[in-house]
Copies of this chain bind each other. A is one copy, B any other.
């Protein structure tokens, strides 16, 4: 093995980055002038301004976050609160949100503090969240339907800007960004009905306390109602593959002539397909199955899953934009509540019967 020569110089710690004072001295002006120049404030002569800017450039000045925060009461950090699923695979769908969130933060010069909250943590007061208590964030994105209403309310009432991701709170005007759940499921259900002439279609739904479940169920219902078909709804306590399997088993027993299933998400859909396979019913020949989310694995399944693509990355981006809007807006000035919807797209593959 050949030794690799890196230019190691640990210990020669990087020089402390320069301060406003350094710039001020070198440019022969006062600290406050420098501050004003660097913050694009008016009232500074163009000549001075140029000189200061030049020196700042030369010294590679970067403002110290702590000092700035202390003076301005703003951190330029935002917090992302995710639910800590007991089952790790549940994280999959939301990981894409994070990508969008991260990118948009970077783009807008914000930093992202993340944290997971479990059932345990949600029993305590939300203001006990470390990042909130210690005033480390200017605002929060609360992601997913599993964050408890009381938790949300506590944060919202504290005055901290908050936006909900993939969730909403009835009776409040908390901003949120959501998938077009209803339309998405409506379309895929309609597809089953119109293209494949299914008559007996079940819906495997998540908890009724989750907005996305309710809305997706609504989409299912309206598609069925439109075709005068009878709905069959199955509620599950969560939306994992395992739960999907169980629900599907129940469904198959309770509805002998079942020919199609729309699942509240892809994980459940996969579970449903496994259940079918387990009792020897082929998908999609005997039972059609469709999902929601379009997670990576849905394409690789056999048969490939027909599903509704959720643009998680865009959702994340929108949430960040809105949150920063709230943060930077004048808190005294009333602003309209915003509910953003991000469109979905039908992804036709084979599990619906298409080929």
Chain B residue numbers with a CB within 8 Å of A153 are: 6-8
Of B7, B99, B116, B241, the contact of A102 (CB 8 Å cutoff): B116
A135 and B66 in contact, given A14-B127, A157-B9, A158-B13 (Cβ under 8 angstroms):
yes
Bound form: Cα–Cα A87–B96 in Å: 11
Q: Is the CB of B159 within 8 A of A13?
A: yes
Interface residues on A, range: 35 or more
- A136/B65 in contact, CB under 8 A: yes
Q: Is A18 an interface residue (CB 8 A)?
A: no
Across the two chains, which residue of chain B brings its CB closest to A72? B66
A300 close to chain B: CB less than 8 A: yes
A253 at the interface (CB under 8 A from B): no
Taking the complex as formed, is A302 at the interface, i.e. its CB lies under 8 A from any CB of chain B? Answer: yes
Chain B positions within 8 Å of A109 at CB level? 130
B-contacting residues, A89-148, CB 8 Å: 89, 91-92, 95-96, 98-99, 102-103, 106, 109, 111-116, 127, 130-131, 133-136
B127 touches A102 (CB 8 A): no
| 27 cross-chain CB contacts under 8 A | A1-B170, A4-B170, A7-B157, A8-B172, A10-B159, A11-B159, A12-B159, A14-B127, A14-B157, A14-B160, A62-B135, A63-B134, A66-B70, A66-B75, A66-B135, A88-B296, A89-B297, A92-B296, A102-B115, A102-B116, A111-B134, A111-B136, A112-B115, A241-B300, A270-B300, A274-B300, A277-B302
Query: Hey, which bits of chain A sit against chain B, CB under 8 A?
Result: 1, 3-14, 17, 62-67, 69-70, 75, 77, 84, 87-89, 91-92, 95-96, 98-99, 102-103, 106, 109, 111-116, 127, 130-131, 133-136, 149, 153, 156-160, 169-172, 241, 270, 274, 277, 296-297, 300, 302, 331
